[in-house]
Each structure stands twice: as structure tokens, then as C-alpha cells.
Structure 1
Amino acid sequence: MRIGRRLQPWTNRQIARSSRVGDKPFHDTAEFPWIAELEAHWEDIRAEAAAALCDINAIPPLAEISPDHRRIAPAGMWRSFFLYGYGYKVDENCAKCPKTAALVGKVPGLNSALFSVLVPGTHIPAHTGVTKAILTCHLGIQVPKAADKCQMRVADQFTGWAEGKAFVFDDIYQHEVLNDTPETRIILLVQFRRPVGLRGKLIGGLFLSAVRHSRFVQDARRGLRAWAEGPPK
């Protein structure tokens, strides 16, 4: 982890220079044709999310399954239902959401896929992601009516969510999220490999492989297994 943090700025510069989609906070979804299929089937995804997330207390809080997120994940308020995490498939969750799992399974360079749940009154403070080797797609599944009170800031740009619509951003840019409404926000979050040239592919691949085998990811896998055995009473 210490070595990775030291190398992170250099690897991010190399990947940015090799990027085939530029280096900016937000990206045009038209650059990623698979997003259209997610949007076309968003109602199927919503139906599976509703069934899988019917008991919100059975969905693990991110802070409990990933200790590294405790600084930014308010206790019990940011919950995550993982289908894939850093290349690892969560079989029992994919079995509960077969259509969604099949759709995200076709995403080129899939890294992670999950339903991200923000309960009312959640504020995720400003933070940055792990590497420019990946980009993040958000697909709106359940969006509060007061859109101006449920927003995300990436760098100096603000955006909200719309049900059935997706956007793509680079989480290496500082970002924060606010749900200051009485309703729960649910999205399908998909992380995928950034399209890059050969140099970026080699450097990004090595960095992601190191992250995948790091304590950061392995602790989260252990946390998911422990939660699957029975959430705390």
C-alpha cells in the first residue's frame, strides 16, 4: 500500500498521457457503446435491485466491509450490494440479479459493479479514487424527487442522477456526494478499464493487479464473506 501510494501520481500521469478518451472529469457516454444497453434494460435492473435491496438493513454498509472507507462512509448510511469487486465475482449476489450480472459481465474491462445505496441525509465528503486506469459509470435506478438536494460534485462540476440515464466520470478528480432528501438514492455503479494505448495498458494493468491483491481489496472481500454469514444483530 505504501509503495502504491508513492507510485500513484506517476502512474496516473502515464495513464492520462496514454488515454484514448482524454483526461477530464466527465466523459461522453457515447464513447462507451455498452452503456446504451444498460440504459435500454434499466427497468429490468431496477426490478432486480428492488428485490435484492428490499431489506436495507441486510445490505452491508461500505464502512463495515471495507475499513479503508471508514473516513468517508458515514456509519450505516452508504451501503453496497456487490456483483463484482476488483475482478472478483460475488456469486451469491449475481445469482440474485441474473439479468444485471449478465449485462455488466459484458462490459469491456469490467473492474467492479455494485448497487450503491445512499440513505436520506448522507454526505460523502470530498475524496479521490485509486487510479486513472479505471473510469466510473453511474446508472440512475432510484432517484429522489428533489434533484437539487441530491447531487455529486466532480472537480468544479455538479451533476445529479436521472432514472434510466447514465454518466461517466474520472474519480481521480476530487468528488463528493450529498443526499439531503428524505428519500433513498440507488444507482448501479460500474467501474471499467479506461481505453488507453499500450503504455497505459501495461502500467495500468500492473497497478490494478497490485491493488487487486492488496490489503485494501482483500480486507473488503473478507468483510463481504463475514457479512454473508450473518449481518451484526
Structure 2
Amino acid sequence: MKIALVLIFVLSIAYVHLRGRVRHKLTRQLGDHSSFLAPVNSFLYLFSRHPAKPYLPVEAFPELQTLQDHWQEIREEARQLLHVGEIKKSENYDDVGFNSFFKTGWKRFYLKWYGESHPSAMTLCPRTTELLKGIGTVKAAMFATLPPGAKLVRHRDPYAGSYRYHLGLDTPNDDGCYIDVDGEKYSWRDGEGVVFDETYIHYAANTTEHTRIILFCDIERPLKYRWATAFNRWFSRNVMAAAAAPNDAGDKTGGINRLFTRIYKIRERGKALKKRNRTRYYLEKWAFVAALVLVFIYI
């Protein structure tokens, strides 16, 4: 049984690694968070209703038209939040999903995260939260900014239960502000939406002098069978929801982020060691991974 589970993990990681045209180095992929969810993601890919492509037509998700029809109202709320400083990086180590983005200047304001709307969002941007409540397939949403000169490094998002939707609100309207998904670039435009598969390797950059503001949503991945959809919703409700991060003290912090706050000191030690001695850092990292594998095999 254990051998079968190990084999499933290995084959799933190989599939995730080989999927798409752009790939991480194998050593990075093995330690990437997408590898830990590789069996779950492979299941979701197998039963996905849409073809495996970096970008999907927005028309395939007609429920999103409501957001596009009201993009100017949404933009006004986003602009006001930015003006008063509410679109910001986490003030504590309580946003494991996006913590690495903050150092480049990327900022966010959560509207919802795999559950109900954030109380702060309902207070500060009632119109946007009202619109989102009417779209059941939107599982998570936020306003996200990318300032001039900022970039997000190449990465995969860890969970394939959703597609990513970006709606341009206040953008440079310039090809110098773009996202690249599996080698294909898209530049944001005001009032225009794009849907892509965030589990392909992607990165973003803003080489202009204008801050980019978008509405950022996770849209439930349509699957072929009801039982597969039921599993996806169960996983979202019980695992993804645990990664909820707050805008302020009145919002809920999920269990994963409460744990992340406590263990971040270990990560800081690892980062310091990596700067000092990369060889020792990787030896310790892979020794730890090997120990976990041995524990799994022999217990």
C-alpha cells in the first residue's frame, strides 16, 4: 500500500512538472508547494471539463459578465481603498499564500477567501462584495496592486481546483505591464478580463510608471462529474479555507496562517543560512525531506 502511494506521488509530481512548455528545474519542482498537492491536482486535471491550456476564453464563464458590466463601480471602490491605504501587505506573518510577493511591492485587500466575504470588505466595499455574492463560482477574490518597477517571480499556484480571473480596473493600459503564463504574455487593460490556469508557471512585471489595480478572483474549475465537483468543493471548504488571511483584526485568520505565524522563524533561519552557505542549506533541506520519506516508509 505504501509503495503504491509513493508511486502515485512520484507519477503525479512528474505529470505536474512536465505539464506545459515552461518548467522549473527538477530540483526546484521537487521542493515546490505544487508537488505536495500533485496527486490532488492530477485528479482535478483528469476530470477537468476544459482543455489543458494556459488561457481560457472569458466567454466560457458567462457568470463573470456581471463583474465586467460593473467594472467602473468596482474600480471606484478599489481606488478609494488604495487612497486610504487599505490595499496593503500583511502587517504580520499571516498570509502564507502570498507572503513572498510582498517584498516586491505587491499588495492586496481580501474580499473573500473560500467562504463568506471578509467583514472588513463588506464595510469598506459593499458594492463589490454584493456583486461577488451573486456569483457562486467565485471562491476567492481580492483587489491586487502591482506598483511601477515591481515583478512577481516565476511560480505555480499550488491548487488546481480553480482558474484565475483578472479584471483590469486601473491599469497602465500598456504592454509593459503584463503577466506571462506558460510563455504566453497578456497585458492588462481597463475594463477587460482574462482567465488563465494559475497552475502553469507564470510571472508578472510592471515596467511602466503607473500602478496596476485589478480584481483578482479564483473561479471554481468546472469538472465533468458531480462526484468530482463534490470532492473539489470539500477540499476547498476544508483545506483552502484554512489559508484565509485577514485585512484587519476583525477578519478571520485560517488555521494554516495561524501556524505559519509561529513557524516563520524557522523559515527566517533557513533564508539566513541560504545566504551564508547555500551548500549547507540544500544539504539540510534534502536531509529533512529524506527523513520524512523514511518515516513514511517505515512507520
TM-score of the alignment, normalized to the shorter chain, above 0.5: yes
| Letter paired with 1:159 | Y
Say which of 142, 151, 156 aligns to 1:123. Answer: 151
The answer (yes or no) to whether the contact 2:172–2:189 under 8 Å persists in 1 is no
- Off by >6 Å, runs of 4+ in structure 1: none
In the alignment, which residue of structure 1 is the partner of 2:77?
48
Does structure 1 residue 71 correspond to structure 2 residue 94?
no
More strand by proportion, 1 or 2?
A: 1
Task: Provide TM-score, normalisation by structure 1.
Answer: 0.84
Deviations 1:183-209 (A, max 9, x none): 100000111211112243133233323
In the alignment, which residue of structure 2 is the partner of 1:192?
219
Aligned mates of 2:67, 2:211 — CA distance in 1? 21
Q: Which runs of 5+ in 2 are unaligned?
A: 1-30, 252-299
Deviations 1:69-119 (A, max 9, x none): 3334325x1110111022242122222212211111122222111110111
Q: Which runs of 5+ in 1 are unaligned?
A: 229-233
Identical counterparts, % of pairs: 27
In the alignment, which residue of structure 1 is the partner of 2:261?
none
Provide the aligned length of Structure 1 versus Structure 2: 218
| Letter paired with 1:20 | R
Task: Provide TM-score, normalisation by structure 2.
Answer: 0.66
In the alignment, which residue of structure 2 is the partner of 1:99?
127
More helix by proportion, 1 or 2?
A: 2
The answer (yes or no) to whether the contact 1:15–1:199 under 8 Å persists in 2 is no
Which stretch of structure 1 is more off in the superposition, 204-213 or 172-181? 204-213
In the alignment, which residue of structure 2 is the partner of 1:231?
none
The answer (yes or no) to whether the contact 2:114–2:237 under 8 Å persists in 1 is no
Higher relative contact order (CA 8 A, sep 6+): 1
The answer (yes or no) to whether the contact 2:144–2:215 under 8 Å persists in 1 is yes
Does structure 1 residue 180 correspond to structure 2 residue 207?
yes
Aligned mates of 1:5, 1:28 — CA distance in 2? 25
Aligned mates of 2:190, 2:56 — CA distance in 1? 19
Compare CA radii of gyration and give the structure with the larger one.
Answer: 2
Secondary structure of the equivalent of 1:129? coil
RMSD after superposition: 2.4
Aligned mates of 2:241, 2:74 — CA distance in 1? 30
The answer (yes or no) to whether the contact 1:136–1:171 under 8 Å persists in 2 is yes
